[in-house]
Amino acid sequence: MSLKFGTSGLRGLSVDLDGPAAAIYATAFARYLLSSGQAKAGDTVMIGRDFRPSSPSIAAICAGALKRAGFSVADCGTVPTPALALYAGKRQSAALMVTGSHIPADRNGIKFYRPNGEIAKVDEEAIAAAAAPLLADQTSFDVTPDEAEDGMATATAEFLARNTALLEVGALAGLRVGVYQHSTVARDLFVDVLNHYGAQVVALGRSDTFIPVDTEAVSPATIDSLKRWAAEHSLDAIVSADGDGDRPLVADEAGLPLRGDLLGLIAARFLDATVAVTPVTSNSGLERHLPILRTRVGSPYVIAGMEQAVSEGQKTVVGFEANGGTLLATDAVVNGTTLTALPTRDSFLPALAVLALSKKQAQTLSALAAGFGLPVAVADRIENFPTDTSAALMAHLRSTRENLADFLTGIGRPADVSDIDGLRVTLHDDSVIHFRPSGNAPEMRCYVEAKDEASAHALLAEGLTRIREFGLSKTESKG
């Protein structure tokens, strides 16, 4: 079984999760809540899901397991993860979201929420420990699905109310904004929110088939579609999100996606953040605009960093990742109203913040992005790259400086190396190349920064080539 906790929740193949494993992990979660005193028998657990084919079945199996463990269950249906988190958090209820986020449809996962918010690494370890003896004998485990009370309408309404209070009425009037709907659970809410603010909305690319959209490494095919739609409909922007609606995708007037960490920076400034917490993979130029605390990749690490900042007395603490998902650790006053803390990734806040800034400053999104003067940063991944090969590559690069230098021959000479999460190498010309195995799927990621667009894409291509060559050499050695 390939299930494991990654950068955000439990992930693995759908065929492994859709069955006893779903019931086992839901049971382990229930037992952890009860044994730790975070919930009691009879309390309600909220369940949401994305549009993947396997998600309804997994959600029903989880509902059955939670009921057998003594909980009531509310079915919030196909809602964005931040909407589920907001709804559950206001009621101090635990929750779980059945989603694989941005990864392919043959994979799925579960995100877990305590009554006081998203689980931390220590919670993951406790849930995994509770699941281990149950996984050892799955054959006799009860996987009977069950139905739950309907909570979808209220969860959606509360999230809509939150996002329609962020800006002034008519704040986006005059903007033509496309919504790339594909199969994200955020697709209808985006249309409703943008219409509320007076934008002229054009719905694009709605799909009944699940389409994985990685907002951190947007595929060339998706970019081609965004460019075509931007020109065809004379759009000022296009917005979208990943499968569960917690990572934003915002493209400019030419259909070119803006970096997620730039969206996070704009959201942090929109909220007058006193500090922003973000992983090491985010752009190195952020520190020129805002006090920054760096962490490992993954929302649990960002949340831990935000908790640290709050404990140190920071007034307004925002977190974001290179994928654009933005978290709010503290209440913030916006548009004369209090925006309550929501310490889980949200795609709506950063998307609305950047559109509002563009309208306020009467700038195109491309001009707005250029004005921040961040180094050019691009990223991509090699899919279906075996995890053991990724581990072997990282071990090889970490073993000696000579190995790293040899691997980068023809690319550049290492000047500095950070090992917070993967290997982030600053070269002698101040460009950056970062190698990191995905925590969610068998993928190897490469992030780069350079002085201009051409140099960045050339560096990324070289990095991906070296990764592929290493993988090929391992395959040949096994043969």
CA–CA separation, 28 and 68 (whole Å): 12
Sequence-ordered list of residues with C-beta below 8 angstroms from that of 157, at least 6 positions apart, any chain? none
CA–CA separation, 243 and 100 (whole Å): 7
Helix 348-361 × helix 260-270 angle, to 10°: 70
CA–CA separation, 191 and 184 (whole Å): 12
What phi and psi, each to the nearest 5 degrees, are found at residue 377?
-125, 130
CA–CA separation, 14 and 105 (whole Å): 8
CB 94 within 8 A of CB 115: yes
- Give helix then strand counts, H and E, for the chain: 15, 24
CB 172 within 8 A of CB 237: no
CA–CA separation, 6 and 445 (whole Å): 14
Q: Are strands 72-77 and 149-150 parallel, antiparallel or unpaired?
A: parallel
DSSP secondary structure of 401-435? HHHHHHHTTTT--EEEEE-SSSEEEEETTS-EEEE
Torsion of CA 167, 317, 155, 69, to 10 degrees: 180
CA–CA separation, 295 and 322 (whole Å): 12
Residues marked as catalytic: 101
Q: Exposure pattern of 367-392 as b/e (b: 16+ CB <10 Å)? A: ebbeebebbbbbbbbbeebeeebbee
Torsion of CA 256, 244, 421, 375, to 10 degrees: 20
Tokens 């909570």 sit at which residue?
151
